[in-house]
Each structure stands twice: as structure tokens, then as C-alpha cells.
Structure 1
Amino acid sequence: MQRYAYLLLSFLVLSPAVSAEQRWIQGIGYVEPASEVRRLAFKHPGILGEYHVQIGQQIKSGDILAMQQNREEQTAVTVAESQLLAAKAELDKVLAGVNPYEIEAKKHAQQVTTLDAEYASRKLDRIEHLRNNKYASEDERDLAETNAKLKQADSRRLHAETRFLTHFVRDVDKQVAQAQVSVAEAQLQAAQRRLAETYLTAPIDGTVLETILRVGESTFSVGSPEPAVLLGNMAQLRVRAEIDENYALALKEGQKALIFGRGLGDREIPAHVSLVKQIMGKKTVFAKTATERKDIDVIQIFVEPDGDMQVPIGLEVNVKVAIN
């Protein structure tokens, strides 16, 4: 009779509802969402600004749950956006080069100086012919020659200026301007990512179980993140139970089980074993009886109800698992 005194300790017992060949083992555990309870914290230190949800509220994956005070992060995004606009404007300026009308005007001026140089060259030829026939002086020839050289030099100058304006944008200038745009884009993305990290978002659909921090409190404590929200999917609950190591080899997925306990009153909820962990551990759930052993190793199993089970998260219950 002493072994039946350990109600919450894993043990072997015969079920009165089945034949003598049917054996049961018993353990103790607690109710949790099948999604587990998510303890959500901010990624970086900061001050909690506000909650966007309330306890018991149903939320969808991606919904904003809370936010840190983020005025500095918002300012950083605004500055980065301005820097990107400036870099893009500089790139457009470089790619545009010189005003096309200025290039067109320079080409027309080049054509005029080319014609002047040709005229001056023909005039020099005529003066040279007249000087040979003693109809023009040496000074007139020198003046015509000098004028022809000046016109040719001016034509070459305008030709060089036209080429300079036409090829004003160098490849290296384009590369520098494009690199500045890339750097500005990367800085904007980093600022936007840092701002996004001041918002706490839901990783799953579920119910807000608890809001832990208060507005104005630090989201980090001694260098470690402080959970701000507890979240779980209440649509599917299960029991995480611990079974004595002596029965570890008798447990298998799919075995019939019963969920019962003081918190459930007279109810016994039909269930089944959905998972048997493949690693042993130390006992963490205790029945708080005088004769309970606390130094034993246990194996954890997940027991899922076969029907609806609306009970509080964390409720301590007993489970019985049928074995042959």
C-alpha cells in the first residue's frame, strides 16, 4: 500500500478499468501549449516605450507586441535617407556630365574657327604669291602668316575643349559616385534594421499570456535580455510529464494515457503519448510529499489530450500511461 501513497511520483499500478494484463505507469507534469510558452525579449538594450497588446489578446504571427523608446533610431533613419538622396543626386550629376547645349555651342564655335583658319591659310597663300611678284611687302606676308597661325591655334583649342566637354565624365568618376550610393544604401538598411529591432513582434499565432515589464523599465538586466511578453498558442495544449527512469524503456509514442489531478477535480481526460524524449534528466516537478525522492533521474514525455482541454497554462497534473 505504501507505493500507492506516491500519487505524483512515477510508479507502476494496475488500472481498475482494464484487465489484469493492462499495466499503467504514472508521472507528474504541467500543462503547456504545444507551441511551448515563448518568452519574448528585445534584441538590444533599451527602455520599454509601450505595449501594443493586452493580456489574453489573440494575435497573429508578425503582429507588433511592444516597442522600445526609439527616437534616436528614427532620427538615424531620417539622416540615412537624406544621405542616400544626396548620393543619388551626385551620381545623376556625374552621369549627366556637361549641359548638352553647352557642348553644341562649343561645336559651332569650333566650326567657325576652322573656317577662319582655312580663310587665313588661303590669304597667306595669296600674299605669298603677291610678294613673289613684288606686289606685296615682306611685312604684309609676315602679318598674314602670323594671322593664319593664330587662327589655326584657336581652332585646335576649341577642338580640344569640345573633346573635353564630350568626355567630361570619366569612368573613375562614375565608379566613385556609384560606390557612394552603395554605401548610403547600406547605411540606410542598417538604420532601418536597428529601428525594426526596437519593435517586439510575434513569431507565432497565439495568445498573450503575460506582459512582464512595465513601461519605462529597462529591457536588459545585468547584460542579459529581460523577457517582456509571454506568448503561447492556446489552440492546442499538452502535458509535459516526467516519468521515473525505471520505466524509460516501456514508453512509446502513441500509448494511451489519462490526464487527471487535483486541479481537474474528478475529471480524467483521455490522451495519448505524442513524444518520448531521447535524453534523461533530473527531476524538476515535485509532488511535495514527505516520502518523495528528489534525486532520481527522469525521462520527459509529451501527452496530448484526445479532445478539448481548456485549463490554465502551468497547471500541475498527473498522467497515467498504459503499457503492456
Structure 2
Amino acid sequence: MKTVLQCALLVFCVLLGNLLVEPWGWSVWEMISPAPDDAPPPPAEPDERSRELRVLGRLTPTHGIINLSATPGDRLKSLNVSEGDQVQAGTQLATLESETLRQLEVEAAEEQLAQATALRDAEIKAAEARLRASEKALEQAQAKNPQLEQQKRQVELAALNLAQAEADLKRVQELRADLVAVQEQEQLELLVEKARIEKTAAETALDQLQQADEFQLQTARSEYEVALAGLDQVKTLRRIEPYEAKLKLAQYQHDQTILTAPSDGTILAIPTRPGESVTPEPILQMADTSEMSCIAEVHKSAVDSLSVGQRVRIESDAFEGRQVAGEIVRIGNQVDPPQLRNLDPLAPQNRHVVEVLINIDEGVANVSNLIDLQVDVVILPRESHDGETGDDAQ
């Protein structure tokens, strides 16, 4: 009797287990039965595609977006471009209302500089003329004075006459008194005295001429030094550098009222319209869209698996079936909260990412009109990239 009850209990447990497990596709018999020889193999290892890393990214010009702004408080006067226009470097894009006032300041500074330059040039010209005159006077003063040379000869002649007269008187005095008349001796003495007076007068005149000549030379030198100092003073005091600096400042302030394109590119957006006040926000935005890139946000835990040169595939419904690919050119070092929003409600939101820059291949579909488009970035595994490289090399 006990054995019958045990068998009945065993059958009941088997039936109950079958009812509980069968909705999930298994029966108790299948669970406890050995697998037949033709049973399907266990699941295979994940293929290469399953190791692809899928992240979010956004399209952006390779050289970035240029925000052109001006000093707040001014007002936009006119625009010379529209959104989508292609412009070259140096093209005038917009003008502020203060441009008219700044232009007047430039013209006033130019006039002041012109007047200061003319006055300086006139004074320098006059000072140079005085310097040339003083140089000529100095040269004349340094030259030999013919009157001085003539007076020196007069002194020499007077000295000779005196010597001759003294010699004649001495010769007469040495003769016997009975052979020379007293009148003749007195006459010779008068001649000696006259020659002595003439010599003294000639020497006095020579001294006066020498003093006058020296005074003239000193005066000429002083006038030359004064003229030279006057020229230096004019060049020092009549400086035009402050006026030139003022003009440069006025020109710089005027240039700030005209927005010009810093490089070739496309006008992306014009947030400010003519008549509106200038704020810290950009007046217009432009970029060189000839080269496009993608900035992908990769979770910090997956960054170590990336490398520069790794191939990626970029996907978006906006591509309309066009193939867009590229490669990683830079991996960031800063970890920040994500800027892109995942539309999957089950995706984790509390995470931190690293920005990875991807250069889009040349010759692929044009995406220059899709700036800031959020895309799906599929980073291919390194093995796939290496294999493709090896095949290409062969």
C-alpha cells in the first residue's frame, strides 16, 4: 500500500512540473532526457558585427563654426549677405550704425596728422637752412683771412725796415765824429724811431686782426652748434608719432564697425537683423563646409578600446541611403556629461562621455547642409580595420 502511494505521488509531481514548465517551451521529459545526436549546436561566439560600438554623434565643419560679433550697445545698420551665401575671405558682411561716426573720427585724425606733418616739415626745412648757413659761415671763418696774411707781411716788412735803420745808425755811430755830420746822425736816429713806431703799429694791427678773426670763428662755431641743436629740437618736439597712433586707433575702431569674413566659407545663420541692437550673441555664423567631421560621444569605459585611424560608419535617416564613413583622428582627454540626447527611453541617462573627432572621407555623400545633425556612429572593431588594411596592402 505504501509503495502504491509513493508511485502515485511521483506521477502527480511529474504532471504538475510539466504544467508549470511547458508554457516556456520545455517539458519535464525534455529537461531530464538526454540530448539526441541531431540536437542543434550551442550558440556561436558573437560575430565581428556584434563587437561594433554604436554611439551618438553630430556633424560639424572640420574647422569649426565662426561666430562673428561686435561690441554690445551698437546697432546693426546693414547686411550684405544672406544665409547660404558663399563668401571669400575679406568680404564685407555687415555694417554697424557707428560706422559713420568712426569714419569722421578717422578723417579728423588724418587731418591732424597732415597738419602736424606739414608744420614739422616746414620747421625742419627752416632749421636745416639755418644749419647750412652756419656751416658756410664756419667754413669761411676757418679759411685763411687775406687781410691777416697781408698784415703779417706788413709786420715782417716793418721789422726789416727797423733792422735796416738800426744797422745804418750803428754803422754811423761807429765812425769817427769828424767824418759824420751831426745832422746825418740825427736823421738816422729819426728813421730808426720811425721804423720802430711803424713796426709797433703793424704788430698792433696784426693782433687786432687775429682777435677779430678768432672772434668770428668762435661766433661761427656757436651759431653752427645752435643751428644743429635747433634742428634736433624740432625733430624731438615736433613728433608726429602721437598723431600716427591716434590715426591707427581711429582706423581700428572704424574697422570694428564693419564685419568681414575671416576666411572662405558659407553663411550659416544670421540671428541679428538690421535695426536690432548688438548683444553678446553672434551677429552671424559662418563656416568652411568644404570639409566635414563628426564628433562622437563615447562612454568613458569604452575609450580604451579606440585608436586613431579606426574606421567608423555614420548612419542617419537624413542620408537617404547614402553611405557616409570616416576614421578617428583624435580622442579627447576630458570626460563630460553628454550633449546629445538618446531617443531610446531605455538608454542610460546618467553617464559621462569623451568626445572623439572623426574625419569624414573625401568623395563621399555631401553632408555640408546637415550641420549639427545628430547621427548614429558605428565604430568598427580594430580587427576589421586591420584586416581591411592588410587586404588593401596585398
User: Structure 2 length as normaliser, TM-score?
Assistant: 0.58
The 2-side partners of 1:261 and 1:170 are apart by 78
Partner residue in 2 for 1:174:
235
Q: How does 1:151-162 map to 2 (within 5 A)?
A: none
CA-CA distance at 1:193 after TM superposition: 0.9
Amino acid paired to 1:202 = A
Residue 66 (structure 2) aligns with: 38
Amino acid at match of 1:233: D
Q: Indicate how the Cα distance of structure 1 residues 86 and 44 shifts in structure 2: closer, same or farther if over 3 A, else same.
A: farther
**Structure 2 residues not aligned, in runs of 5+:** 1-45, 138-214, 383-394
**Of Structure 1 and Structure 2, which has the larger fraction of its residues in strand?**
1
Q: Does structure 1 residue 203 correspond to structure 2 residue 291?
A: no
Aligned match of 1:255:
310
Aligned pairs for 1:86-105 (under 5 A) are 86-97=115-126
Give the aligned residue type for 1:251.
L
Q: Deviations over 1:104-151 (max 9, x none)?
A: 9xx9xxxxxxxxxxxxxxxxxxxxxxxxxxxxxxxxxxxxxxxxxxxx
Change (3 A) 1:281 1:164: same
Alignment partner, residue 74 of structure 1: 103
* CA apart distance, 1:274: 2.2
Q: Report whether the alignment pairs 1:20 with 2:75.
A: no
Cα contact 1:263–1:316 (8 A) shared by 2: no
Write the distance in 2 (CA, Å) between the matches of 1:314 and 1:63: 25
How many residues are matched?
257
In structure 2, distance between residues paired with 1:292 and 1:91 = 77
Counterpart pick for 1:302 among 354, 357, 360: 357
The match for 2:114 is 85
Over residues 188-235 of structure 1, what are the superposed CA-to-partner deviations in whole Å (9 max), with x where a residue is unaligned?
111111111111122221111111101111222xxxx22011111111
Q: Structure 2: which amino acid aligns with 1:188?
A: L
Residue from 218, 233, 236 that aligns with 2:291 = 236
For the residue of structure 2 that corresponds to 1:243, the secondary structure is: strand
Provide the TM-score with structure 1 as the length reference: 0.69
Q: Is 2:381 the counterpart of 1:323?
A: yes
| CA distance 1:245–1:94, change in 2 (3 Å) | same
SS of equivalent to 1:231: strand
* Greater shift in the superposed pair: 272-281 or 259-268: 259-268
Would the alpha carbon gap of residues 203 and 231 (structure 1) be closer, same or farther in structure 2, given more than 3 Å must change?
same
- 1:269 deviates by 2.0
Report the residue type matching 2:273 in the other structure: R
Alpha-carbon distance, 1:68 to partner: 1.1
Aligned to 2:272: 213
> Identity, % of aligned pairs?
24
Match of 1:83, SS state, is: helix
Letter in 1 for 2:357: F
- Residue identity opposite 1:20 in structure 2: D
2:124–2:231 CA contact under 8 A, matched in 1 = no
Gaps of 5+ in 1: 1-18, 108-155
Distance across 1 between alignment mates of 2:47 and 2:269? 46
Shift of 1:237: 1.2
* 1:279 correspondence with 2:334: yes
CA RMSD between the two structures:
3.4
Code of the aligned partner of 1:279: Q
Distance 1:93 1:266 in 2: 78
Contact preservation (8 Å) 2:72, 2:277: no
Read off the aligned partner of 2:352 and give its amino acid letter: D
